Amino acid sequence: VSPRTVCSASAQTICNGGTTNVALNSTVGSTTYSYTAAIFTSPTGGTITGQANGSANPIAQTLTNTGTSAGVIRYTVIPTAAGCPGSSFTVDVTVNPTATVNAVASQTLCSGAPTTAVNFSSPTTGGNIVYNWSNNNTAIGLGASGIGDILSFMATNSGLTTISGLITVTPTYTNLGGG
């Protein structure tokens, strides 16, 4: 009489374009697996691609989220040990979206005038977005880099010609599951 296999796997959270690494675990050696993959939660305004049915252990698939919120792929796994099927189980992989930042208007000022504060926003939803920014010209009166919104500052120019600064913003998305 062959033993009944008891299996498990841990849920994961990955970034858009990331590869899953879902290890399928069993109480019985030489267990094989087959699984189906389906979208369990669709991301807002998009879909998830790259998932497929299979039998590999670990489940290693590169998943793409085209939406503006996290989405979930659910794998339904059927283990087999010594020719006997075990109880099916599910494991979810959350795929975070790539964060984007809405465009911000340029500002043209005279030296000594206060800038308008810049409050960043994003169409990406369902998580926390951190905005890291860098400035290529600190002579305008703004530091070289920062995190979050840019508070008003006094524009400066100690020279005789017009200067400008290019602020580059990199948004990073995280949700309650990490990633």
Alpha-carbon distances of 29 from 58, 80, 88, rounded to whole Å: 15, 10, 17
In whole numbers, what is the pLDDT of the chain averaged over residues?
94
In this prediction, residues 107-134 reach a mean pLDDT of 95
The pTM assigned to this predicted structure is 0.85
Report d(CA 25, CA 20) in Å as an integer: 15
Cα torsion 7, 12, 16, 18 to 10°: value is -60
- Residue 177 pLDDT > 90: no
In this structure, are residues 111 and 155 in contact, taking their beta carbons and an 8 Å threshold? yes
Tokens of 146: 């920062």
The reported pLDDT for the residue numbered 1 is 76
**Secondary structure class of 138 (helix, strand, coil):** helix
The reported pLDDT for the residue numbered 179 is 52
In this structure, are residues 5 and 26 in contact, taking their beta carbons and an 8 Å threshold? yes
What does the pLDDT look like over 42-92, one tens digit per residue? 999 999 999 999 999 999 999 999 999 999 999 999 999 988 889 999 999
Cα torsion 109, 104, 135, 145 to 10°: value is 120
